[in-house]
Amino acid sequence: MAVVNPDVAEKFLDSNPAFAKQYYDSKFRPAVIAKLLSSRKTEVDFSSFHDLNSVEESEIMFDLIRDIHENLQMEKSIFNLMKNLSFLLRADRMSLFMYRMRNGTAELATRIFNVHKDAVLEECLVQPDSEIVYPLDTGIVGHVATSKRTVNVPDVTQNSYFSDFVDQLTDYKTKSILATPILNGKDMVAVMMAVNKIGAPHFDAKDEQTLMKYLNFANLILRVFHLSYLHNCETRRGQVLLWSASKVFEELTDIERQFHKALYTVRAFLNCDRYSVGLLDMTKTKEFFDLWPILMGEVAPYDGPKTPDGREIIFYKVIDYILHGKEDIKVIPNPPADHWALVSGLPTYVAENGLICNIMNAAADDFFEFQKEPLDESGWMIKNVLSMPIVNKKEEIVGVATFYNRKDGKPFDDMDETLMESLTQFLGWSVLNTDTYDRMNKLENRKDIFQDMVLYHVKCRKDEIQNILKTKEVYGREPHECEEDELFEILEEELPDSEESEIFEFHFCDFDHSELELVKCGIAMYYELGVVDKFHIPQEALVRFMYSVSKGYRKITYHNWRHGFNVGQTMFSLLMTGDLKRYFTDLEAMAMVTAGFCHDIDHRGTNNLYQMKSGNPLAKLHGSSILERHHLEFGKTLLRDEDLNIYQNLNRRQHDHVIHLMDIAIIATDLALYFKKRAMFQKIVDQSKTYESWTEWTDYMKLETTRKEIVMAMMMTACDLSAIAKPWEIQSKVALSVAAEFWEQGDLERTVLEQNPIPMMDRNKADDLPKLQCGFIDFVCSFVYKEFSRFHTEITPMLERLLNNRKEWKALQEIHEAKVAKIEEEKKKKEEQAAAAAAAKEGKGRGPWGPEGERSRNGIVCLLRMKHLSQNPGGRVYQGYSTGGQFGWLAQFQRSS
């Protein structure tokens, strides 16, 4: 093989560049790249400035890539880049200014300063307390950050943006500048600046190209750092909000415990050495006894700073969280003004103005007087501070949170402000929880006070119980000092005879009894049911309970104690006389009779619809069956009192059962629910007819809880409507009482609600009462008593009286309608006579409307009636249609003509 001369080979390769590239790529390039990547140090000579060949520049490139790959510290990577750039550009100095927001103002701060080709990182890295800060309206770097464009200044003395305050600080002379912005998309990140070209008067276009070429590395490094920092901040922020939320909702009792739990839990994510929270006094107005010394001139009025809503700035507590060294928490109630957390005036300033304050160098700050000596034995000192208000949903400042010394030594930046602001904002909003809890507590306490007031006036007094339990008269002792046998002896004398008082009868009439006698009759029913001894009801409690129930009813026209008693008595008679007790236990019978007595307690004389229309608090408290739920709660309130609780000796299961039955029974009196249960009750009645033996049917029903509840609910309806099934002499009087109460509600609707009442509640339509009663019987009542009579024939007397009462009301309705018809007929005759007289006077000889027989007369009558209608307040004519009155036929006449 012939030896190839190097010159020949070189000529061949120059003549065949494609082959040369292919040969290099296949034989040498992988090894070269591997060597460059594996090399720990570039072989470029930086001892003196010289032009670099392509291999040396490639080594620098690979060195930068390797540095990015191995080094995660932003400052070190950027420093290596700037060190190489200072050699490539032959710049005397290079600096990096980081863009940031502080206190809502954008600024540039030195991060890496005075980098040259032989520089060391530790000498160029700027410590937080040595930063040089440029506002964006100062210097060439501020201009670059504002314009976001590269600037090449050959002579700084000829540039209006140049500021020499850094030269004065560093005793340096700036001649020329090459500066460029570093952006993350459109967002400003930093400004890199090269100063004073070595070996030339200024930087040229080639230097600009070199800078822009290597700027991609700076962009990449800063972007990775920025995204990593943002990710870290958002992670911290999410953790702060998550953990603080978990603690905020754990503690609702008071703001101090809530803040303390939340702030202590998130301490690891706040990235600071120490933080304190000052809680502000929320008092807006002084008590009169505090104002008197001021008004008398004995005490000078307050003239210090105030919050934006006018409160005096008084920190009633400071909570200090120490995270450096050994963790500790200090709570300082009523802190003095010279306490280290307040003495600077920063918390007061924040509370007064509601601003976020970020102090990057506390020692050099001349607006606030921070303590310059160590605060404790550890030697800890205040270096930088971030303070912000805690604002609640009402935009009131409730406290001030102050954070000291970022852990990495840098000042707090805009991301720290965002994170801390999110925390304080969340804490401020969470105050709503404690405020709501406090309001609920106050409402609960107020409710208890009102309940105590109501019970005081409703509850049977010591002197009142002597009207029935005359223990003082008989034994000279109070009822609670007597034995049960002694009380029974007194009651045996005081309570009426059941047969004489007719409490077993459906036709029972309360007219001949006083309200006290009705209380005694009610007590007697419990003895007749046999529940007093069986369930160990204290007889004093029974008397107090019945007496208190009677007092709980208001003195209104119809829904008073008499009505409440009648419903309880009807329930008793349905159980005993109507033989419905066969399906129910003694415990259930007691609950049903008690529900009957309590079913309308504290009735206001107006219905559920009126409560909603008038915006009554009851309507807001109870969404449906408004009054029924109120009656139920009132009854339960009485039973919760130990002196009135007739269920006090029941076991837990028995007590829960009777309360459950009372819930169903009382709410079932809402007529809106009546139509929902009719079909179910009818099916039960039909089912009862399929059994041949009453014993089998009874045994079946005793085990059917749901069916028993439906029967009980329908029994409550039958009891509530029982006045309609009383003898006529009773029913007619009760009906007038019901109507009178309805008319009173109608008057309220006119005066208070400014609405027209429905006919049933309109006293102007009182003559329609018989017709309304017939409709009520047919639409509501008939079904109840027909089905109960079919269910148990013992209840047939109620149906018979209902049908008799309907006949009486129908007769009254017919009499009334006959009178109305007669009046209308007489009125019609007078109108026809007046119309005929007018026609004879005005219509003689007028063409087709003249005296041409019936056609003329009818036409004139029609016109006259139309004229009369236009003057008739009972019926207006609008576009040919009558809206009321007696002349609706005119509209039809107008359309036909």
Task: Supply the residues annotated as catalytic.
Answer: 559
420 three-class SS: helix
User: Residue 867 half-sphere exposure, CB side, CA atoms within 13 Å?
Assistant: 10
Identify the CA nearest to 543 among candidates 641, 465, 477.
465
CA distances to 79, 134, 306, 762 from 196, rounded to whole Å, are 18, 20, 54, 101
Contact yes or no for 813/770 (Cβ under 8 A): yes
Q: What is the dihedral of CA 639, 642, 643, 646, to 10 degrees?
A: 50
**Structure token digits, residue 429:** 């909003």
> What is the SS3 string spanning 495-523?
CCCHHHHCCCCCCCCCCCCCHHHHHHHHH
Q: What is the dihedral of CA 389, 390, 396, 399, to 10 degrees?
A: -80
Task: Provide φ and ψ at 244, rounded to 5°.
Answer: -65, -40
The residues near 370 (Cβ < 8 Å, ≥ 6 apart) are 344, 346, 359, 362, 363, 382, 385
Identify the CA nearest to 564 among candidates 720, 745, 727.
720
User: Which DSSP letter does residue 795 get?
Assistant: G
Bin 182: left if φ > 0, else alpha if -120 < ψ < 50, else beta.
beta
Residue appearing with tokens 């007369």? 857
Give the residues across from 151 on adjacent strands: 179
Give the residues across from 109 on adjacent strands: 98, 133
Tell me the residue length of the chain: 897
Task: Provide φ and ψ at 459, rounded to 5°.
Answer: -65, 140
Q: Within 10 A of 550 (CB to CB), how many other CB atoms are there?
A: 23
CA distances to 175, 799, 802 from 786, rounded to whole Å, are 113, 6, 10
